């Protein structure tokens, strides 16, 4: 991948062998490229707690529905995507190490309605709607515009370098540029919860998975005791 893109952040990290690598977070090129979509499926869809609970990773048809939805939102120019890659001193993106995906929406936008064909995506949507009902970000904070979370991942071989925390930091910078005063997301893994916590995000709602099974009949198999809605207040 190539092309001049805005650089949101540059930072260095030390690998386990002591090697220091220089990294940067940049605006994403065209997301329809196979590189990004395959990584999004492999390290987000196939690992994310709620996607696994809905059985999405086991269904090729459901995965294709996810990809179609992502591409449609890109066509509407709502998505904002950044990549983490090596900082080689040029515009080349030779290796995507991680990515953050958000969608900019306004208070008066019509409610999105989707009709999914696969039972796995229908179940995932039910899970998402349940979480939305438990904590309504727009209602709680009365936001005119907001960036809704569409996923964040770091490729396994690059985890432990602080990339997730830096991606969360860049989300703050993007929100500030667009005049969005607060950004929130459900954190459904230990890694995302810890990275957001290190970046100063606050927990404003916490839902235990055992309570979801008891009160809503949602069976979500995970070692994580709870999902946390965390917010970053933009200075």
Q: Count, in order, helices (H) and strands (E) of the chain.
A: 8, 8
Measured in residues, the chain has a length of 235
* DSSP state letter for 91: S
Q: What is the pLDDT of residue 2?
A: 46
Predicted pLDDT at 35: 76
Q: What is the pLDDT of residues 85-142, one digit of tens each?
A: 999 877 777 788 999 999 998 888 777 677 899 999 999 999 999 999 999 888 899 8
What are the backbone angles phi and psi of residue 94, rounded to the nearest 5°? -90, -20
pLDDT at 218 over 50: yes
Q: Please return the burial class of 99, using the count of CB atoms within 10 Å of its CB with bins 0-12, 13-18 and 19+.
A: buried
- Tell which wins on pLDDT, 71 or 15: 15
Higher pLDDT, 215 or 127: 127
Where residue 44 falls among pLDDT bands split at 50, 70, 90? very high
Q: Which of the four pLDDT bands, split at 50, 70 and 90, describes residue 33?
A: low
Are 70 and 81 spatial neighbours (Cβ–Cβ below 8 Å)? no
- Give the E-state strand segments of the chain in sequence order: 7-14, 20-27, 79-86, 98-106, 145-154, 182-187, 202-208, 226-233
In the chain, what are the domains?
Answer: 7-107+115-163+173-179 (3.40.630.30)
3-state secondary structure of 111: coil
Q: In this structure, are residues 218 and 49 in contact, taking their beta carbons and an 8 Å threshold? A: no
CA distance 152 to 192: 8
Tens digit of each residue's pLDDT (9 = 90 or more) over 192-210:
999 999 999 999 999 999 9
How far is C-alpha 18 from the geometric centre of its chain's CA atoms?
Answer: 29
Using alpha carbons only, give the angle 66, 69, 72 rounded to the nearest 5 degrees. Answer: 150
Report percent pLDDT > 90 for the chain: 65
pLDDT-based confidence at 77, cuts 50/70/90?
Answer: low
Yes or no: say if 44 and 27 are a contact pair by the CB < 8 Å rule. no
Q: What is the pLDDT of residues 157-188, one digit of tens each?
A: 999 999 999 999 999 999 999 999 999 999 99
Res 28: pLDDT: 84
Give the pLDDT of residue 20. Answer: 92
Token pair listed for 178: 């667009």
């Amino acid at each position: 991948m190539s092309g001049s893109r805005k650089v949101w952040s540059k930072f260095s990290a030390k690998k386990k062998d002591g090697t220091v690598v220089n990294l940067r977070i940049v605006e994403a090129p065209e997301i329809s490229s196979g590189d990004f979509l395959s990584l999004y499926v492999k390290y987000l869809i196939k690992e994310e707690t709620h996607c696994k609970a809905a059985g999405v990773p086991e269904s090729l048809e459901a995965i294709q529905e996810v990809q179609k939805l992502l591409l449609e939102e890109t066509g509407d120019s709502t998505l904002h995507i950044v990549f983490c890659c090596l900082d080689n001193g040029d515009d080349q993106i030779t290796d995507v190490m991680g990515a953050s995906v958000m969608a900019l929406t306004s208070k008066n936008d019509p409610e999105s309605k989707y009709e999914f064909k696969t039972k796995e995506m229908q179940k995932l949507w039910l899970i998402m709607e349940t979480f939305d009902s438990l904590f309504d970000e727009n209602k709680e904070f009365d936001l005119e515009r907001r960036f809704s979370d569409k996923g964040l991942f770091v490729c396994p071989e690059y985890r432990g370098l602080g990339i997730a925390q830096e991606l969360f930091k860049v989300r703050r910078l993007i929100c500030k540029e667009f005049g969005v005063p607060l950004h929130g997301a459900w954190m459904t893994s230990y890694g995302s919860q810890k990275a957001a916590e290190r970046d100063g995000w606050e927990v404003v709602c916490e839902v235990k998975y055992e309570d979801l099974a008891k009160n809503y009949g949602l069976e979500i198999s995970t070692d994580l005791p709870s999902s946390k809605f965390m917010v970053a207040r933009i200075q």
